[in-house]
Structure 1
């Protein structure tokens, strides 16, 4: 399901940046963040076995109560340095023969991390039922990324349920992945609403569409779970955000922004990807696997002899972006990826390596977008306003700056 066509360059005022985008029955208490809003990391998560819950619709989804393994945030105290947030997110979120969805659930478990899966809706729709999809301004059943074979549809449904029980967020990457001037970039607000409604429908009716009866219902109500997404190729952002705001979403991650504290656009949090320094060049690239590929090999099967160097460059770049925030203004770092084996899987290996390095740093929290929104919404607006003014660490120190 690889889509590696060249993406649109989205400058967004980021001068000099090379910006492209790929494509138990037991009751649990939330994890405490301590008295400070920073505090200790949550313990390693484990998949929770729960009762079936209250079925919704055809039984594809169900209401099983609050999601397990969620942090309990508190407001920053006067003069307190904010924690360093890192969001690891996955465009598509499918489970194929590579088994990367399930693998990274285990990686996250080791590091006490939560992540966001931006699920592609048609990954729940068998190819034989593709005519159920009516993409805006395209032929019935059209898709630029094709459809999963039935076995991958099944494994994706199974792993998405497990991921939610392990504390991860399920957002959306929409459906057909249409890029360019005749794709999502041209969509109206109503087009986006149609695409979103269909993405939700495919998740909410997978049992009817697939005929699968031996998998449990997804343990969440997708109407409530879905509060954000990322657009294909990071295009069509303006109208998407208008649609998202009307639908009551909390955030969008479809653009590129400077490494500063986020603000709201159209009434929702702009949690876009950042550009990070690319060692060995004078450029910054958007923090996503595809962008490294585009700047390194330009192809999914690049020179094998160069792959160790490319992997190190990717790790170093992610860590340079992390250190700039961690030692600087503590702005949240957002990283985007795909479950792909591009260049022999070096980008998956790089993400796994940096997750370990980042999680080991004091006061660092690897969170989902929803969890980051929870923290942001809890803070004093005046404190957030002061944080947004910072391009680096406050010269007078955090205690004085946030007193």
Structure 2
């Protein structure tokens, strides 16, 4: 186990988290989740028309996605950049704890768009596990298990609502293999292509695989919708990127910890990593993900000492807001935050990210967007201006102010 007391925690997604097995991803034990019968509803999310079914009717072309921002335009010379913040969710399974609808409502209340990295296996019943043939692992294997049928139904319900509300649906792939010889760290580009094809198949054939006939289709063409991902445990990006580029993906969020600086492209794909943020009370920084904060607080358990929950909640909230302030008041680098629909340590990380979002949402120039929306903005910017922005280190304000700094670009 990695020593959490040093700055090396920045690489936790590569080391300690992977060794723990949970690795900060998934929907908490798959089929062992608490579960609730029947779909949980929050209202809204009416289907646009006309609807053109695709394949077996699991998905449908319903036209342009609702609730999208205006088409992005380039910054003017000397214009202050917006402060982009992306809240993202690994796995995106509704296991009956009500967290998926909770954060859909929060986003709606504050005009936020988010990215949901859906695990393909969360739409595949365990009774059909033999359909999954993971690279370098036995048929049907999964390190995150499978959801109960009622939780598959709920996940379908909320993924559908998420897209209709304007959020992005990316992928977290399938079996979440982080350790051993079958780890995604060892997968080849062809392995990644197989994993992606299977993830898409599970999303686009859920009706056949589940036998559910009383649910509406997902209202998007997933082959077109899917433009980015986050790998399990932040492993394997090097061999994923050639495949992602070949598929025309726009971005990848699998780097194991970046600085709060403006991003670059790798192999033609925007590299949008989770970032190292100031960690209150410590000399090192921590990765901008709920699980990595947990690993520094309760070490190797998701059920730490309850007496510590209030102070840990405050520390987690301060971590997110400290990273936000460092960017907002200086180089305006985008802030990327990763989460899971989990009640680890009494749900304190869910409370922390909610409080952080509320505190950010009403600030001038702040845009709470999905990764795809941010990639849209990046793609229309002048490349010389972006290069100028990249020269600003974390916490470094533009010399002479934005008007002078970006006019010089």
What TM-score do you get using the length of structure 1 for normalisation? 0.90
Cα distance in 1 for partners of 2:137, 2:104 equals 35
Cα distance in 2 for partners of 1:393, 1:48 equals 44
Contact 2:331–2:389 (Cα < 8 Å) also in 1: yes
Report the equivalent of 2:165.
166
Instruction: State the Cα deviation string for residues 12-50 of structure 1 (Å, max 9, x = none).
Output: xx9655332311xxxxxxxxxxxxxxxxxxxxx963432
Instruction: State the Cα deviation string for residues 110-139 of structure 1 (Å, max 9, x = none).
Output: 110000000000000000000000000110
Report the equivalent of 1:389.
391
Instruction: State the Cα deviation string for residues 254-285 of structure 1 (Å, max 9, x = none).
Output: 01211100010011000111010100011101
Cα distance in 1 for partners of 2:49, 2:215 equals 14
Report the equivalent of 2:18.
none
Contact 1:17–1:275 (Cα < 8 Å) also in 2: no
Task: Write out aligned runs for 1:143-292 (5 A).
Answer: 143-182=142-181, 183-255=183-255, 256-292=257-293
Runs of 5+ in structure 2 lacking a partner? 14-23, 26-42
Report the equivalent of 2:82.
83
Report the equivalent of 1:331.
333
- Give the secondary structure class of the aligned counterpart of 2:84: strand
Report the equivalent of 2:28.
none
Task: Write out aligned runs for 1:67-146 (5 A).
Answer: 67-72=65-70, 73-146=72-145
Cα distance in 2 for partners of 1:156, 1:46 equals 16
Cα distance in 1 for partners of 2:50, 2:121 equals 25
CA drift at 1:373: 0.4
Cα distance in 1 for partners of 2:219, 2:265 equals 30
Instruction: State the Cα deviation string for residues 180-208 of structure 1 (Å, max 9, x = none).
Output: 24210000000000000000000000000
Contact 2:7–2:284 (Cα < 8 Å) also in 1: no
The count of aligned residue pairs is 372
Q: Over the residues paired in the alignment, what is the CA RMSD in angstroms?
A: 1.5
Cα distance in 1 for partners of 2:44, 2:386 equals 33
- Give the secondary structure class of the aligned counterpart of 2:330: coil
2:320 maps to which of 312, 318, 321: 318
- Give the secondary structure class of the aligned counterpart of 2:243: helix
Cα distance in 1 for partners of 2:137, 2:9 equals 32
CA drift at 1:51: 2.8
Cα distance in 2 for partners of 1:384, 1:108 equals 28
Contact 1:273–1:287 (Cα < 8 Å) also in 2: yes
What TM-score do you get using the length of structure 2 for normalisation? 0.89
Cα distance in 2 for partners of 1:15, 1:287 equals 14
- Give the secondary structure class of the aligned counterpart of 2:60: strand
Do structure 1's residue 60 and structure 2's residue 58 form an aligned pair? yes
Report the equivalent of 1:38.
none
